Structure 1
Amino acid sequence: MKIAVIGGTGLIGSQVVGILDAGGHEAVPHSPSSGLDLLSGQGLAEALEGSDVVVNLTNSPTFDEASLAFFQTTMDNLVAAAATAGVGHLVILSIVGVDQVPELDYYRAKTLQEDILKAGPVPYTIVRATQFFEFVDAVLSWTSDENTVHLPVTPVQPMAAADVAAAVAEASVEAPLQGVRNVAGPEVFALDELGRVTLAAKGDERPVVVDDTAGMFAAVKGDVLIAPAGAVIAKTAYREWLASR
Protein backbone atom coordinates (compact mmCIF):
# COMPACT_ATOMS: atom_id res chain seq x y z
CA MET A 1 0.00 0.00 0.00
CA LYS A 2 1.34 3.44 -0.93
CA ILE A 3 0.71 6.02 1.78
CA ALA A 4 1.51 9.72 1.43
CA VAL A 5 2.33 11.19 4.84
CA ILE A 6 1.88 14.96 4.72
CA GLY A 7 4.00 16.44 7.49
CA GLY A 8 6.02 13.26 7.38
CA THR A 9 9.20 14.74 8.85
CA GLY A 10 7.73 16.03 12.14
CA LEU A 11 7.47 14.52 15.62
CA ILE A 12 4.54 12.25 14.75
CA GLY A 13 4.98 12.03 10.99
CA SER A 14 8.52 10.68 11.05
CA GLN A 15 7.46 7.91 13.44
CA VAL A 16 4.39 7.07 11.34
CA VAL A 17 6.59 6.71 8.27
CA GLY A 18 8.95 4.39 10.16
CA ILE A 19 6.10 2.20 11.45
CA LEU A 20 4.49 1.91 8.02
CA ASP A 21 7.75 1.14 6.26
CA ALA A 22 8.53 -1.54 8.84
CA GLY A 23 5.10 -3.02 8.15
CA GLY A 24 5.90 -3.47 4.48
CA HIS A 25 4.06 -0.44 3.15
CA GLU A 26 5.46 2.32 0.97
CA ALA A 27 5.21 5.40 3.18
CA VAL A 28 6.33 8.59 1.45
CA PRO A 29 6.96 11.66 3.65
CA HIS A 30 6.04 15.07 2.25
CA SER A 31 6.79 18.50 3.70
CA PRO A 32 7.96 21.95 2.58
CA SER A 33 11.49 20.53 2.36
CA SER A 34 10.29 18.09 -0.31
CA GLY A 35 8.54 20.83 -2.29
CA LEU A 36 5.01 20.55 -0.92
CA ASP A 37 3.14 23.69 0.13
CA LEU A 38 -0.38 22.87 1.34
CA LEU A 39 -1.31 26.54 1.61
CA SER A 40 -0.67 27.26 -2.05
CA GLY A 41 -1.22 23.72 -3.29
CA GLN A 42 2.21 23.65 -4.91
CA GLY A 43 3.45 20.07 -5.29
CA LEU A 44 0.21 18.57 -3.97
CA ALA A 45 -0.89 16.70 -7.08
CA GLU A 46 2.56 15.18 -7.44
CA ALA A 47 2.64 14.16 -3.75
CA LEU A 48 -0.68 12.33 -3.98
CA GLU A 49 -0.15 10.64 -7.33
CA GLY A 50 -0.61 6.88 -7.03
CA SER A 51 -1.33 7.02 -3.29
CA ASP A 52 -3.89 4.66 -1.79
CA VAL A 53 -4.00 6.57 1.50
CA VAL A 54 -3.10 10.09 2.58
CA VAL A 55 -2.26 10.94 6.20
CA ASN A 56 -2.31 14.65 7.05
CA LEU A 57 -0.17 15.59 10.06
CA THR A 58 0.53 19.21 9.20
CA ASN A 59 -0.06 21.80 11.88
CA SER A 60 -0.73 25.51 12.00
CA PRO A 61 2.36 27.61 12.81
CA THR A 62 0.30 29.52 15.39
CA PHE A 63 -2.35 28.65 17.96
CA ASP A 64 -4.29 31.91 17.63
CA GLU A 65 -7.14 32.99 15.35
CA ALA A 66 -4.87 32.70 12.29
CA SER A 67 -4.99 28.91 12.70
CA LEU A 68 -8.58 28.96 11.41
CA ALA A 69 -7.51 30.29 8.02
CA PHE A 70 -4.61 27.84 7.91
CA PHE A 71 -6.79 24.77 8.37
CA GLN A 72 -9.52 26.11 6.08
CA THR A 73 -7.12 26.60 3.20
CA THR A 74 -4.96 23.52 3.67
CA MET A 75 -7.89 21.14 4.10
CA ASP A 76 -9.80 22.61 1.16
CA ASN A 77 -6.71 22.09 -0.98
CA LEU A 78 -5.99 18.60 0.33
CA VAL A 79 -9.54 17.23 0.07
CA ALA A 80 -9.92 18.53 -3.49
CA ALA A 81 -6.57 17.10 -4.56
CA ALA A 82 -7.24 13.75 -2.86
CA ALA A 83 -10.59 13.44 -4.65
CA THR A 84 -8.99 14.25 -8.00
CA ALA A 85 -6.21 11.72 -7.38
CA GLY A 86 -8.69 8.96 -6.47
CA VAL A 87 -7.31 8.53 -2.95
CA GLY A 88 -9.32 5.90 -1.09
CA HIS A 89 -8.69 7.00 2.50
CA LEU A 90 -7.75 10.31 4.13
CA VAL A 91 -6.59 10.29 7.76
CA ILE A 92 -6.06 13.31 10.02
CA LEU A 93 -4.83 13.68 13.60
CA SER A 94 -7.00 15.77 15.91
CA ILE A 95 -7.57 16.24 19.65
CA VAL A 96 -9.82 14.47 22.15
CA GLY A 97 -12.67 16.80 23.10
CA VAL A 98 -11.69 19.34 20.44
CA ASP A 99 -15.27 20.27 19.57
CA GLN A 100 -16.15 21.00 23.19
CA VAL A 101 -13.77 23.92 23.78
CA PRO A 102 -14.96 26.72 21.45
CA GLU A 103 -13.27 29.28 23.70
CA LEU A 104 -9.89 28.26 22.25
CA ASP A 105 -9.11 29.52 18.73
CA TYR A 106 -6.88 26.56 17.96
CA TYR A 107 -9.50 24.01 19.04
CA ARG A 108 -12.11 25.75 16.89
CA ALA A 109 -9.63 25.58 14.01
CA LYS A 110 -9.06 21.85 14.48
CA THR A 111 -12.83 21.33 14.65
CA LEU A 112 -13.11 23.18 11.35
CA GLN A 113 -10.46 20.86 9.90
CA GLU A 114 -12.55 17.85 10.96
CA ASP A 115 -15.74 19.35 9.53
CA ILE A 116 -14.15 19.99 6.13
CA LEU A 117 -12.97 16.39 6.01
CA LYS A 118 -16.39 15.02 7.01
CA ALA A 119 -18.16 17.10 4.37
CA GLY A 120 -15.80 16.04 1.57
CA PRO A 121 -16.08 13.15 -0.89
CA VAL A 122 -13.04 11.15 0.29
CA PRO A 123 -13.52 8.28 2.80
CA TYR A 124 -11.86 9.28 6.05
CA THR A 125 -10.73 8.50 9.57
CA ILE A 126 -10.15 11.06 12.33
CA VAL A 127 -7.75 10.00 15.08
CA ARG A 128 -8.26 12.16 18.15
CA ALA A 129 -5.43 11.99 20.67
CA THR A 130 -4.93 13.52 24.09
CA GLN A 131 -2.04 15.89 24.90
CA PHE A 132 1.46 14.57 24.21
CA PHE A 133 3.96 13.88 27.00
CA GLU A 134 6.51 15.71 24.85
CA PHE A 135 4.60 18.99 25.18
CA VAL A 136 4.28 19.08 28.98
CA ASP A 137 7.46 21.14 29.40
CA ALA A 138 6.09 23.74 26.98
CA VAL A 139 2.78 23.89 28.86
CA LEU A 140 4.64 24.54 32.10
CA SER A 141 6.80 27.21 30.50
CA TRP A 142 3.77 29.26 29.44
CA THR A 143 2.85 30.13 33.01
CA SER A 144 6.09 29.90 34.97
CA ASP A 145 8.87 32.16 36.10
CA GLU A 146 12.09 31.52 38.01
CA ASN A 147 10.19 31.14 41.27
CA THR A 148 6.85 29.41 40.65
CA VAL A 149 4.74 27.54 38.13
CA HIS A 150 1.05 28.45 37.86
CA LEU A 151 -1.34 25.79 36.54
CA PRO A 152 -5.09 25.13 36.59
CA VAL A 153 -6.58 21.87 37.89
CA THR A 154 -7.86 20.91 34.43
CA PRO A 155 -8.02 17.09 34.11
CA VAL A 156 -5.79 15.69 31.35
CA GLN A 157 -4.92 12.17 30.17
CA PRO A 158 -1.65 12.61 28.25
CA MET A 159 0.08 10.03 26.08
CA ALA A 160 3.45 9.41 24.46
CA ALA A 161 4.00 10.64 20.91
CA ALA A 162 5.15 7.14 20.00
CA ASP A 163 1.74 5.78 21.00
CA VAL A 164 0.02 8.52 18.99
CA ALA A 165 2.10 7.60 15.94
CA ALA A 166 1.23 3.92 16.37
CA ALA A 167 -2.47 4.76 16.49
CA VAL A 168 -2.26 6.89 13.34
CA ALA A 169 -0.29 4.25 11.48
CA GLU A 170 -2.77 1.56 12.48
CA ALA A 171 -5.74 3.65 11.34
CA SER A 172 -4.11 4.41 8.00
CA VAL A 173 -3.89 0.76 6.95
CA GLU A 174 -7.42 -0.13 8.06
CA ALA A 175 -10.69 0.59 6.26
CA PRO A 176 -11.95 4.18 6.62
CA LEU A 177 -14.04 4.62 9.76
CA GLN A 178 -16.14 7.50 8.44
CA GLY A 179 -15.84 8.66 12.01
CA VAL A 180 -13.55 9.24 14.99
CA ARG A 181 -11.18 7.00 16.93
CA ASN A 182 -10.15 8.41 20.31
CA VAL A 183 -6.80 7.45 21.85
CA ALA A 184 -5.40 8.42 25.24
CA GLY A 185 -2.81 7.64 27.87
CA PRO A 186 -3.46 5.25 30.76
CA GLU A 187 -3.58 7.86 33.57
CA VAL A 188 -5.64 10.92 34.38
CA PHE A 189 -3.91 13.85 36.10
CA ALA A 190 -5.04 17.26 37.26
CA LEU A 191 -2.75 19.57 35.29
CA ASP A 192 -1.25 21.04 38.46
CA GLU A 193 -0.45 17.50 39.67
CA LEU A 194 1.15 16.69 36.32
CA GLY A 195 3.29 19.78 36.75
CA ARG A 196 4.49 18.64 40.17
CA VAL A 197 5.34 15.15 38.89
CA THR A 198 7.29 16.67 36.00
CA LEU A 199 9.24 19.14 38.14
CA ALA A 200 10.09 16.48 40.72
CA ALA A 201 11.47 14.17 38.03
CA LYS A 202 13.77 16.99 36.89
CA GLY A 203 14.87 17.96 40.39
CA ASP A 204 13.16 21.33 39.96
CA GLU A 205 12.06 22.56 43.40
CA ARG A 206 9.77 25.34 42.25
CA PRO A 207 6.27 25.04 43.76
CA VAL A 208 3.21 24.65 41.56
CA VAL A 209 0.50 27.16 42.44
CA VAL A 210 -3.07 26.31 41.52
CA ASP A 211 -4.33 29.11 39.30
CA ASP A 212 -7.52 28.54 37.33
CA THR A 213 -6.74 31.50 35.06
CA ALA A 214 -3.27 30.31 34.02
CA GLY A 215 -2.49 29.28 30.48
CA MET A 216 -4.45 27.96 27.53
CA PHE A 217 -6.01 25.06 29.43
CA ALA A 218 -7.66 27.40 31.92
CA ALA A 219 -10.41 27.83 29.31
CA VAL A 220 -11.24 24.11 29.40
CA LYS A 221 -14.25 23.29 31.56
CA GLY A 222 -14.92 19.90 33.11
CA ASP A 223 -13.32 16.71 31.88
CA VAL A 224 -13.73 17.13 28.11
CA LEU A 225 -10.02 16.37 27.52
CA ILE A 226 -10.38 12.95 29.16
CA ALA A 227 -10.83 9.84 27.02
CA PRO A 228 -14.51 9.16 26.30
CA ALA A 229 -16.10 5.72 26.47
CA GLY A 230 -14.73 3.39 23.84
CA ALA A 231 -11.36 5.13 23.53
CA VAL A 232 -8.21 3.12 22.86
CA ILE A 233 -5.95 3.37 25.92
CA ALA A 234 -2.20 3.32 25.28
CA LYS A 235 0.16 1.47 27.60
CA THR A 236 2.98 3.98 28.22
CA ALA A 237 2.64 5.64 31.64
CA TYR A 238 3.95 9.16 32.20
CA ARG A 239 6.36 8.40 35.04
CA GLU A 240 7.72 5.45 33.07
CA TRP A 241 8.25 7.74 30.08
CA LEU A 242 9.93 10.41 32.24
CA ALA A 243 12.31 7.83 33.70
CA SER A 244 13.33 6.74 30.21
CA ARG A 245 14.26 10.23 29.05
Structure 2
Amino acid sequence: MTTPRGGLRVALLLLLTSLLASGCALPQQRLSADAIRAAEQAIERPRTIALLGGTGLAGSYLLREALARGYPLRVLSRSPQKLAYLGDRVTVIEGDARDPAVLDSLLQGADAVISAIGPVPADGAAAKGISSAVTGKLITAMQRHGLTRYLVVSGAGVAAPGDDRNATGWWMRQLVKIRYPEILRDKQAEYQLLADSDLQWTVVRCPLIESGPYVQPAIVSLATPATFRLRAAELAEFVLEQLETADYHRRAPFVYSR
Protein backbone atom coordinates (compact mmCIF):
# COMPACT_ATOMS: atom_id res chain seq x y z
CA MET A 1 0.00 0.00 0.00
CA THR A 2 1.15 3.55 -0.61
CA THR A 3 1.91 6.15 2.05
CA PRO A 4 -1.19 8.30 2.78
CA ARG A 5 -0.87 11.66 1.06
CA GLY A 6 -1.81 13.50 4.25
CA GLY A 7 1.01 11.88 6.22
CA LEU A 8 3.52 12.64 3.48
CA ARG A 9 2.38 16.25 3.37
CA VAL A 10 2.79 16.64 7.12
CA ALA A 11 6.26 15.09 7.00
CA LEU A 12 7.32 17.44 4.24
CA LEU A 13 6.02 20.52 5.99
CA LEU A 14 7.77 19.51 9.21
CA LEU A 15 11.03 19.09 7.31
CA LEU A 16 10.66 22.45 5.59
CA THR A 17 9.80 24.14 8.88
CA SER A 18 12.86 22.59 10.52
CA LEU A 19 15.12 23.80 7.72
CA LEU A 20 13.78 27.31 7.90
CA ALA A 21 14.02 27.43 11.68
CA SER A 22 17.64 26.31 11.61
CA GLY A 23 18.60 28.80 8.93
CA CYS A 24 19.40 26.10 6.36
CA ALA A 25 18.76 26.98 2.75
CA LEU A 26 19.09 25.65 -0.71
CA PRO A 27 22.26 26.77 -2.47
CA GLN A 28 22.26 30.56 -2.70
CA GLN A 29 18.61 30.94 -1.64
CA ARG A 30 16.18 30.27 1.18
CA LEU A 31 12.99 28.29 0.75
CA SER A 32 10.22 30.79 0.11
CA ALA A 33 6.58 30.58 1.12
CA ASP A 34 5.74 30.09 -2.56
CA ALA A 35 8.08 27.08 -2.71
CA ILE A 36 6.41 25.55 0.34
CA ARG A 37 2.95 26.06 -1.18
CA ALA A 38 4.09 24.57 -4.50
CA ALA A 39 5.49 21.48 -2.77
CA GLU A 40 2.31 21.04 -0.75
CA GLN A 41 0.09 21.34 -3.83
CA ALA A 42 2.25 18.84 -5.76
CA ILE A 43 1.70 16.24 -3.03
CA GLU A 44 -2.00 16.89 -2.51
CA ARG A 45 -3.01 17.20 -6.18
CA PRO A 46 -5.45 14.36 -6.88
CA ARG A 47 -4.65 12.09 -9.80
CA THR A 48 -7.82 11.16 -11.60
CA ILE A 49 -8.10 7.75 -13.24
CA ALA A 50 -10.13 7.11 -16.39
CA LEU A 51 -11.30 3.49 -16.12
CA LEU A 52 -12.68 1.29 -18.89
CA GLY A 53 -14.28 -2.09 -18.19
CA GLY A 54 -15.20 -1.15 -14.63
CA THR A 55 -18.25 -3.42 -14.49
CA GLY A 56 -16.41 -6.62 -15.44
CA LEU A 57 -14.67 -9.03 -13.07
CA ALA A 58 -11.19 -7.48 -13.13
CA GLY A 59 -12.56 -3.97 -13.63
CA SER A 60 -14.85 -4.10 -10.60
CA TYR A 61 -11.90 -5.02 -8.37
CA LEU A 62 -9.84 -2.24 -9.93
CA LEU A 63 -12.66 0.21 -9.26
CA ARG A 64 -12.93 -0.75 -5.59
CA GLU A 65 -9.16 -0.67 -5.06
CA ALA A 66 -8.88 2.75 -6.68
CA LEU A 67 -11.64 4.12 -4.45
CA ALA A 68 -9.99 2.59 -1.38
CA ARG A 69 -6.77 4.41 -2.30
CA GLY A 70 -8.63 7.72 -2.65
CA TYR A 71 -8.35 8.18 -6.41
CA PRO A 72 -11.04 10.23 -8.15
CA LEU A 73 -12.53 8.07 -10.91
CA ARG A 74 -14.11 8.66 -14.29
CA VAL A 75 -15.66 5.35 -15.37
CA LEU A 76 -16.91 4.53 -18.85
CA SER A 77 -19.96 2.28 -19.06
CA ARG A 78 -22.63 1.44 -21.59
CA SER A 79 -24.92 0.59 -18.65
CA PRO A 80 -24.55 3.35 -16.03
CA GLN A 81 -27.25 1.76 -13.89
CA LYS A 82 -24.74 -0.95 -12.97
CA LEU A 83 -22.73 1.72 -11.13
CA ALA A 84 -25.66 3.54 -9.55
CA TYR A 85 -24.85 1.97 -6.17
CA LEU A 86 -21.73 4.16 -6.01
CA GLY A 87 -23.73 7.39 -6.04
CA ASP A 88 -21.47 10.40 -6.50
CA ARG A 89 -18.29 8.54 -5.54
CA VAL A 90 -17.40 8.20 -9.24
CA THR A 91 -18.13 10.15 -12.41
CA VAL A 92 -19.82 7.84 -14.90
CA ILE A 93 -19.48 8.51 -18.62
CA GLU A 94 -22.09 6.70 -20.69
CA GLY A 95 -21.26 5.42 -24.15
CA ASP A 96 -19.29 3.09 -26.38
CA ALA A 97 -15.50 2.97 -25.96
CA ARG A 98 -15.06 2.97 -29.74
CA ASP A 99 -16.67 6.41 -30.05
CA PRO A 100 -13.98 9.15 -30.14
CA ALA A 101 -16.39 11.72 -28.68
CA VAL A 102 -17.10 9.43 -25.71
CA LEU A 103 -13.38 8.92 -25.14
CA ASP A 104 -12.81 12.68 -25.20
CA SER A 105 -15.43 13.04 -22.48
CA LEU A 106 -13.91 10.20 -20.45
CA LEU A 107 -10.38 11.64 -20.57
CA GLN A 108 -11.40 15.17 -19.62
CA GLY A 109 -9.49 15.97 -16.43
CA ALA A 110 -7.90 12.51 -16.18
CA ASP A 111 -4.22 11.90 -15.42
CA ALA A 112 -3.95 8.17 -16.19
CA VAL A 113 -5.96 5.53 -18.04
CA ILE A 114 -6.62 1.94 -16.96
CA SER A 115 -8.41 -0.49 -19.26
CA ALA A 116 -9.86 -3.85 -18.28
CA ILE A 117 -12.06 -3.97 -21.35
CA GLY A 118 -12.62 -7.24 -23.16
CA PRO A 119 -15.13 -9.04 -25.36
CA VAL A 120 -18.62 -9.49 -23.97
CA PRO A 121 -20.17 -12.74 -25.29
CA ALA A 122 -23.61 -11.15 -25.48
CA ASP A 123 -22.29 -8.65 -28.05
CA GLY A 124 -21.65 -11.44 -30.55
CA ALA A 125 -19.76 -10.33 -33.67
CA ALA A 126 -19.62 -6.74 -32.39
CA ALA A 127 -17.14 -7.86 -29.73
CA LYS A 128 -14.60 -9.03 -32.30
CA GLY A 129 -11.38 -7.01 -32.14
CA ILE A 130 -12.67 -4.87 -29.27
CA SER A 131 -9.37 -4.58 -27.38
CA SER A 132 -7.22 -3.41 -30.28
CA ALA A 133 -10.00 -1.18 -31.63
CA VAL A 134 -10.45 0.62 -28.31
CA THR A 135 -6.73 0.91 -27.56
CA GLY A 136 -6.08 2.27 -31.06
CA LYS A 137 -8.63 5.02 -30.50
CA LEU A 138 -7.40 5.63 -26.96
CA ILE A 139 -3.83 6.19 -28.14
CA THR A 140 -5.07 8.96 -30.44
CA ALA A 141 -7.37 10.42 -27.79
CA MET A 142 -4.66 10.41 -25.12
CA GLN A 143 -2.34 12.29 -27.46
CA ARG A 144 -5.03 14.93 -27.93
CA HIS A 145 -5.37 15.30 -24.17
CA GLY A 146 -1.66 15.22 -23.40
CA LEU A 147 -1.89 11.97 -21.41
CA THR A 148 0.86 9.34 -21.42
CA ARG A 149 0.18 6.74 -18.69
CA TYR A 150 -1.87 3.76 -19.87
CA LEU A 151 -2.26 0.44 -18.06
CA VAL A 152 -4.13 -2.40 -19.70
CA VAL A 153 -5.19 -5.82 -18.44
CA SER A 154 -4.31 -8.42 -21.05
CA GLY A 155 -3.78 -12.18 -21.34
CA ALA A 156 -0.87 -14.50 -20.60
CA GLY A 157 -1.02 -15.83 -24.16
CA VAL A 158 0.27 -12.54 -25.57
CA ALA A 159 3.90 -12.73 -26.70
CA ALA A 160 6.49 -10.01 -26.11
CA PRO A 161 10.24 -9.63 -26.66
CA GLY A 162 12.25 -11.22 -23.84
CA ASP A 163 9.77 -14.02 -23.13
CA ASP A 164 11.41 -17.24 -21.95
CA ARG A 165 8.45 -19.45 -21.16
CA ASN A 166 8.80 -22.53 -19.01
CA ALA A 167 6.58 -25.57 -19.62
CA THR A 168 3.63 -23.98 -17.80
CA GLY A 169 3.97 -20.77 -19.78
CA TRP A 170 4.31 -22.62 -23.07
CA TRP A 171 1.23 -24.77 -22.47
CA MET A 172 -0.75 -21.71 -21.37
CA ARG A 173 -0.09 -19.98 -24.69
CA GLN A 174 -0.94 -23.12 -26.69
CA LEU A 175 -4.26 -23.56 -24.88
CA VAL A 176 -5.21 -19.94 -25.52
CA LYS A 177 -4.25 -20.26 -29.21
CA ILE A 178 -6.48 -23.32 -29.53
CA ARG A 179 -9.47 -22.19 -27.48
CA TYR A 180 -9.51 -18.40 -28.00
CA PRO A 181 -7.61 -17.71 -31.24
CA GLU A 182 -9.52 -14.53 -32.15
CA ILE A 183 -9.16 -13.03 -28.68
CA LEU A 184 -5.43 -13.80 -28.68
CA ARG A 185 -4.98 -12.15 -32.10
CA ASP A 186 -6.87 -9.12 -30.84
CA LYS A 187 -4.79 -8.86 -27.64
CA GLN A 188 -1.57 -9.37 -29.60
CA ALA A 189 -2.56 -6.57 -31.98
CA GLU A 190 -3.32 -4.36 -28.96
CA TYR A 191 0.15 -5.02 -27.56
CA GLN A 192 1.76 -4.09 -30.88
CA LEU A 193 -0.20 -0.83 -31.10
CA LEU A 194 1.14 0.16 -27.69
CA ALA A 195 4.70 -0.98 -28.47
CA ASP A 196 4.64 1.26 -31.55
CA SER A 197 3.26 4.25 -29.62
CA ASP A 198 4.97 6.92 -27.53
CA LEU A 199 2.82 6.22 -24.46
CA GLN A 200 4.16 5.11 -21.09
CA TRP A 201 2.17 1.89 -21.19
CA THR A 202 2.13 -1.26 -19.10
CA VAL A 203 0.48 -4.39 -20.49
CA VAL A 204 -0.37 -6.65 -17.53
CA ARG A 205 -0.43 -10.22 -18.84
CA CYS A 206 -2.72 -12.39 -16.73
CA PRO A 207 -3.58 -16.11 -16.61
CA LEU A 208 -7.12 -17.10 -15.60
CA ILE A 209 -8.50 -14.32 -13.38
CA GLU A 210 -10.71 -15.56 -10.56
CA SER A 211 -12.85 -13.72 -8.06
CA GLY A 212 -11.65 -13.78 -4.48
CA PRO A 213 -10.18 -11.76 -1.64
CA TYR A 214 -6.63 -10.49 -1.43
CA VAL A 215 -4.26 -13.06 0.12
CA GLN A 216 -0.76 -11.83 -0.65
CA PRO A 217 1.06 -9.70 -3.26
CA ALA A 218 0.91 -11.07 -6.78
CA ILE A 219 4.06 -12.61 -8.24
CA VAL A 220 5.55 -10.79 -11.22
CA SER A 221 7.77 -12.12 -14.00
CA LEU A 222 9.00 -10.63 -17.27
CA ALA A 223 9.85 -14.07 -18.68
CA THR A 224 7.04 -16.56 -18.04
CA PRO A 225 3.87 -17.12 -16.01
CA ALA A 226 4.33 -19.80 -13.37
CA THR A 227 0.72 -20.68 -12.54
CA PHE A 228 -2.63 -20.73 -14.31
CA ARG A 229 -4.44 -18.45 -11.85
CA LEU A 230 -4.59 -14.89 -10.59
CA ARG A 231 -6.84 -13.53 -7.84
CA ALA A 232 -8.60 -10.39 -9.04
CA ALA A 233 -7.91 -8.52 -5.81
CA GLU A 234 -4.17 -9.15 -6.19
CA LEU A 235 -4.30 -8.02 -9.81
CA ALA A 236 -6.03 -4.80 -8.72
CA GLU A 237 -3.39 -4.04 -6.11
CA PHE A 238 -0.57 -4.59 -8.61
CA VAL A 239 -2.15 -2.38 -11.27
CA LEU A 240 -2.88 0.50 -8.89
CA GLU A 241 0.64 0.36 -7.47
CA GLN A 242 2.00 0.97 -10.97
CA LEU A 243 0.69 4.52 -10.78
CA GLU A 244 3.38 5.15 -8.16
CA THR A 245 6.36 3.65 -10.01
CA ALA A 246 8.04 3.49 -13.41
CA ASP A 247 9.28 -0.09 -12.90
CA TYR A 248 7.17 -1.49 -15.72
CA HIS A 249 6.87 1.44 -18.10
CA ARG A 250 6.72 0.12 -21.68
CA ARG A 251 6.93 -3.46 -20.42
CA ALA A 252 4.54 -6.42 -20.26
CA PRO A 253 4.90 -8.28 -16.96
CA PHE A 254 3.20 -11.59 -16.24
CA VAL A 255 1.26 -11.34 -12.98
CA TYR A 256 -0.05 -14.40 -11.15
CA SER A 257 -1.00 -15.77 -7.74
CA ARG A 258 0.66 -18.48 -5.68
Q: TM-score, normalised by structure 2?
A: 0.57
Partners of 2:205 and 2:253 within 8 A in 1:
yes
Shift of 1:166: 1.5
Q: Tell whether 2:185 aligns with 1:108.
A: yes
Residue in 2 that maps onto 1:81: 141
Classify the secondary structure of the residue corresponding to 2:229.
coil
Work out which of the residue numbers 185, 200, 203 in structure 1 matches 2:257.
185
Residue in 2 that maps onto 1:10: 56
Q: Residues 102-141 of structure 1: matches in 2 within 5 Å?
A: 102-103=177-178, 104-134=181-211
Structure with larger RCO (C-alpha < 8 A, sep 6+): 1
Amino acid at match of 1:184: Y
Per-residue CA deviation, residues 43-65 of structure 1 (Å, 9 max, x unaligned), is 11011012110001111124998
Which 4+ residue blocks in structure 1 deviate beyond 3 angstroms? 62-68, 100-103
User: Which ranges of structure 2 fall in alignment gaps of 5 or more residues?
Assistant: 1-46, 81-92, 160-172, 213-225
Partners of 2:151 and 2:201 within 8 A in 1:
yes
Partners of 2:211 and 2:233 within 8 A in 1:
no
Residue in 2 that maps onto 1:41: 100
Partners of 2:227 and 2:256 within 8 A in 1:
no
Distance in 1 (CA, whole Å) between partners of 2:243 and 2:147 is: 12
Partners of 1:37 and 1:43 within 8 A in 2:
yes
Work out which of the residue numbers 83, 94, 118 in structure 2 matches 1:59.
118
Shift of 1:92: 0.3
Work out which of the residue numbers 132, 139, 161 in structure 1 matches 2:232.
161
Tell me how many residue pairs correspond in the alignment.
167
Among all aligned residue pairs of Structure 1 and Structure 2, give the percentage whose two residues are the same amino acid: 23
Distance in 2 (CA, whole Å) between partners of 1:173 and 1:4 is: 16
Shift of 1:134: 4.1
Classify the secondary structure of the residue corresponding to 1:43.
helix
Shift of 1:86: 0.9
Classify the secondary structure of the residue corresponding to 1:25.
coil
Distance in 1 (CA, whole Å) between partners of 2:132 and 2:158 is: 16
Shift of 1:17: 2.1
Q: Tell whether 2:50 aligns with 1:31.
A: no
Per-residue CA deviation, residues 161-212 of structure 1 (Å, 9 max, x unaligned), is 11122222222343361111211121xxxxxxxxxxxxxxxxxxxxxxxxxx
Amino acid at match of 1:14: S
Q: Residues 66, 21 of structure 1: CA spacing in aligned structure 2 closer, same or farther, 3 A cutoff? A: closer
Classify the secondary structure of the residue corresponding to 1:5.
strand
Partners of 2:58 and 2:209 within 8 A in 1:
no
* Higher CA-based Rg: 2
Classify the secondary structure of the residue corresponding to 2:154.
strand
Q: TM-score, normalised by structure 1?
A: 0.60
Partners of 2:97 and 2:134 within 8 A in 1:
yes
Partners of 1:130 and 1:185 within 8 A in 2:
no
Distance in 1 (CA, whole Å) between partners of 2:124 and 2:238 is: 27
Q: Residues 174, 65 of structure 1: CA spacing in aligned structure 2 closer, same or farther, 3 A cutoff? A: farther
Q: Tell whether 2:132 aligns with 1:72.
A: yes
Q: Residues 66, 10 of structure 1: CA spacing in aligned structure 2 closer, same or farther, 3 A cutoff? A: closer
